Amino acid sequence: MEEESYRIKAVSQCQQGKWTTWEAVIGRTITWADLWKLSQTRLSFLIRATYDTLPSPQNLHRWYGTEELCQLCGHQSPSLQHILSGCKTALTQGRYRWRHDRVLRKLAEVIEGRRLEVNKASSLTSDQPVQFVREGGEALCSIIRERSLLSPGGEWDLRVDISHQLKFPQQIAITSLRPDIVIWSTTTKSVIMAELTVPWEDGIEAAFERKKEKYADLAAACTQAGWRAYTFPVEVGCRGFTGTSTQRFLKTLGVRGHKLQKALKDLAEEAEQGSFWLWLRRKDKAWGRDGS
């Protein structure tokens, strides 16, 4: 009853209750351990960014009537959304790309671990046709085969668009498009493409549809070349709320249980930490590639 009354109050609040309108977003849980671990400034940013009560120029104008421009692009009374995901100068300088790559690197670590697990299982099943397990246990190969696109025996390869421009495998299709992640198996003639976006939480669904449409022709070209193609737009909100598309993608690859929960939490924290740094540097006109 307390939770329901809290939500009803939040819905009635135009600004602080905006989170109640977010679609396709996974709720974020902060544990007592997280509270002890987080610094006061990080915790304050997380809470106030969620409810949009940080002292952005737009809020300062609303509260005190002051006028302030965006220190980077000159936009008048910029909102928190403008600072974290809408400033053209920040985009040109690579600030948003820097945050995006932080999240992408963490996502790639999860997928690489899964890829190695599957390829290892392939060698185990080929070298050791008889696999003994404890009573009530389950064989590794059977766990991996369960509803997973990464099937054992595929000898899967992985490319990630970090630090250098990714080149789409030419044996699959010729294209200038560069998905953030490409996983493919020549043995099974399967290719999995993932495109990460770190948008403002209100725009997660729009980002999903936009990226899905962007890679539709490439997926069709792969299919015409005789490959089974799968496209996954994935989103992690810039304030640290993961889209359901990301959870669905990882589950499809066979990441489940505590590994899935840890992965989602790590991705959320990576995005939120990146935005926290962008917030702190919002008035600094200089920006290096490494965020310095």
What are the per-10-residue average pLDDT scores of the chain (292 residues)? 79 77 88 89 94 94 92 95 97 96 97 93 54 55 60 88 87 94 95 97 95 96 96 97 97 95 96 97 91 83
- Residues 139 and 260 grouped into a single domain: yes
- Residues 122 and 260 grouped into a single domain: yes
- Residues 229 and 113 grouped into a single domain: yes
Q: Is 82 in contact with 70 (CB distance < 8 Å)? A: yes
Last residue of a domain, one of 63, 93, 123: 93
Who's near 161: CB < 8 A, 6+ residues apart? 104, 178, 179, 180, 181
- Residues 143 and 259 grouped into a single domain: yes
- Residues 104 and 89 grouped into a single domain: no
211 part of a folded domain: yes
- Residues 124 and 242 grouped into a single domain: yes
The confidence score (pLDDT) of residue 127 equals 46
- Residues 89 and 131 grouped into a single domain: no
The confidence score (pLDDT) of residue 292 equals 81
- Residues 241 and 275 grouped into a single domain: yes
- Residues 85 and 115 grouped into a single domain: no
287 part of a folded domain: no
Tell me the residue range of the domain where 245 lies.
96-280
The confidence score (pLDDT) of residue 124 equals 52
C-alpha 122: how far from chain center: 28
Counted domains in the chain: 2
- Residues 143 and 55 grouped into a single domain: no
- Residues 223 and 82 grouped into a single domain: no
The confidence score (pLDDT) of residue 133 equals 56
The confidence score (pLDDT) of residue 88 equals 96
The confidence score (pLDDT) of residue 177 equals 94
Model confidence, pTM: 0.88
Who's near 73: CB < 8 A, 6+ residues apart? 87, 88, 89, 90
Last residue of a domain, one of 42, 72, 93: 93
The confidence score (pLDDT) of residue 143 equals 44
